[in-house]
Structure 1
Amino acid sequence: MNPVPELAPQLKQLRLSGILDSLEARNRQAIDGKLAYTEFLAMLVSDEVARREQKKFSLRLRRAQFRTNKTLEQFDFERLPKLNRALVNDLATGRYLQEKAPVLIVGPCGTGKSHLAQALGHCAVRQGVDVVFTTSAALTQGLNAARATGMYDRRLASLARVPLLIIDDFGLKPLRPPADEDLHDLVAERYEQAATIVTSNLDFTEWDQAFPANRLLASATLDRLRHNAYCMVLDGQSYRAPKLSPVAVKPRQPVAAAAKNGHA
């Protein structure tokens, strides 16, 4: 008697329907290997746990909203010989997440700041941490839009609770009111409560320029961002440097043709 037809609805009721995906193969394996009932059950439970973990990972990855699937394994460290690779590897372990410490990454355009930030975010997702990736402009625009619909407090609270928030391209555009105040409020809410990664084309000494309307607000915001922060400077050639086309070589005229045209 085949128990699967009766078993299927029961597994669905218990929210264990994923077991059906490997049940037949595991049953055959148990028969061929003469496994004990407990060993057979252990394999099924292990399969279900692995499926659930993969489902959680995929969900976190979608929620993170990374621009691209950049990982640390794909990062070209050879282009940045001055980069502290030991620090990058230490950050990849996620210790800064437990410390709730900021990570600040600066460097010229195209040196891999966004890649590195997203790669660290990907490491966090693998470790079961919820991540949100956004640009500075999109972040402040989203908060302002939430204000217009009366959802500002809820949106701010949601962003403040994210275990890892990655803010890309800070300082690319000046922060005008109320964007400067919104960013300050978010940084203040997250201060020593959750980890934040920030990337910028500006040198650390130039970050106050992102707040042209209120230098006092700049000081208060940056003071919190810099406190106990891990800082990295990416100094190297741009990944986006254009590829030069080969110089066209003019073909030499055959000697016979040259003589015919009256050239020696």
Structure 2
Amino acid sequence: MMTQQTLSKLRELKLPGMADALQVNLGQPAFRSLTFEEQMGILVDSEVSSRESRRLNRLLKVAKLRYPSACLEDVDFRESRGLEKGLFAVLASCDWVRQCRHIIFTGATGTGKSWVACALAVQGCRVGLSAIYRSSNQIAEEIIIAEATGSLPQLKGRLVKAAILVIDDLGLMPFDALVARTLFSIVDERDRLRTGPLVITSQYPTDNWYSLLGDPTVADAILDRIVHSAHHIHLNGDSMRKSRAKD
């Protein structure tokens, strides 16, 4: 009876990790043989782990990543792909986020740009940083709908506040004037407030982006805030989808 009361109180105190660990371990002779300090240490560690897991799940839910299970540990560093293992070891610390150092992935379709971009976003979520993923088509559609419904300020606020903003497949369709101006406003506000970097993937080199971003003046303003302070990573090789199909 006492145990059930303790479990109920732990859950009322919003300590479900401790409650679950106590419920699982209480019947284990090995746990009962431990000192009180050792038992408490296990329960506290379980609560910390539970909170970190719940936080990660919340961040991933908000991020809406295309590949939410992508992770840096699974990145394919074959020499033919052009990815530097040393660079990614540095990126894993997420200092690039705190320094607002943008990351640009270029390369042919299917080379894994989107997957690696998501892996970086997942790593950010692991250390407690917020992320938002949008394909270029998605962000264009959201801006157009938000403008029509009067919710554009709220949309811009969400995209500005995210510590990591992933824009995937830039260039699949050119942006119209409204989308380009709104994107500039978001990029400029993020740059001014230093809320965090962008991660951009594109089949096209940055020199070709001017024609994809609508008005040349707006395009120049956007690129000036991104390109000069970015890690440029070009992925080589055949399509990963083609390789998986052969396997």
Q: What is the CA distance between 1:242 and its match in structure 2?
A: 7.4
Per mean C-alpha deviation after superposition, the further-off stretch among 232-241 and 110-119 is: 232-241
Q: Find the counterpart in structure 1 of residue 109 from structure 2.
A: 109
Task: Tell me if the contact between 1:79 and 1:237 (Cα under 8 Å) persists in the aligned partners.
Answer: no
Q: Find the counterpart in structure 2 of residue 218 from structure 1.
A: 219
Q: Find the counterpart in structure 1 of residue 197 from structure 2.
A: 195
Matches within 5 A, 1:3-152: 3-29=2-28, 34-68=33-67, 69-78=69-78, 80-152=80-152
Task: Tell me if the contact between 1:79 and 1:236 (Cα under 8 Å) persists in the aligned partners.
Answer: no
* Equivalent position SS for 2:229: coil
CA distance in 1, matches of 2:27, 2:8: 21
Matches within 5 A, 1:240-255: 240-241=241-242
Matches within 5 A, 1:232-243: 232-241=233-242
Q: What is the CA distance between 1:170 and its match in structure 2?
A: 0.8
Q: Please tell me the root mean square deviation across aligned C-alpha atoms, in Å.
A: 2.2
Q: What is the CA distance between 1:210 and its match in structure 2?
A: 0.5
Q: What is the CA distance between 1:221 and its match in structure 2?
A: 0.7
CA distance in 2, matches of 1:207, 1:150: 29
Task: Tell me if the contact between 2:104 and 2:232 (Cα under 8 Å) persists in the aligned partners.
Answer: yes
CA shift in 2, pair 1:8/1:84, >3 Å: closer
The percentage of counterpart residues that share the same residue type is 28
Provide, for residues 79-106 of structure 1, a one-character-per-residue CA deviation record: whole Å limited to 9, x for no partner: 6353333222222221101101111111
Per mean C-alpha deviation after superposition, the further-off stretch among 188-197 and 94-103 is: 188-197
Q: Which has the larger radius of gyration?
A: 1
Letter paired with 2:10: L
Q: What is the CA distance between 1:44 and its match in structure 2?
A: 1.3
Moved over 6 A (4+): 242-245
Letter paired with 1:19: M
Task: Tell me if the contact between 1:104 and 1:229 (Cα under 8 Å) persists in the aligned partners.
Answer: yes
CA shift in 2, pair 1:222/1:32, >3 Å: closer
Kindly indicate which of the two structures has a greater share of residues assigned to helix.
Answer: 2
Task: Tell me if the contact between 2:111 and 2:238 (Cα under 8 Å) persists in the aligned partners.
Answer: yes
Provide, for residues 174-208 of structure 1, a one-character-per-residue CA deviation record: whole Å limited to 9, x for no partner: 11121111111111111143111001111121111
Q: Which runs of 5+ in 1 are unaligned?
A: 246-264
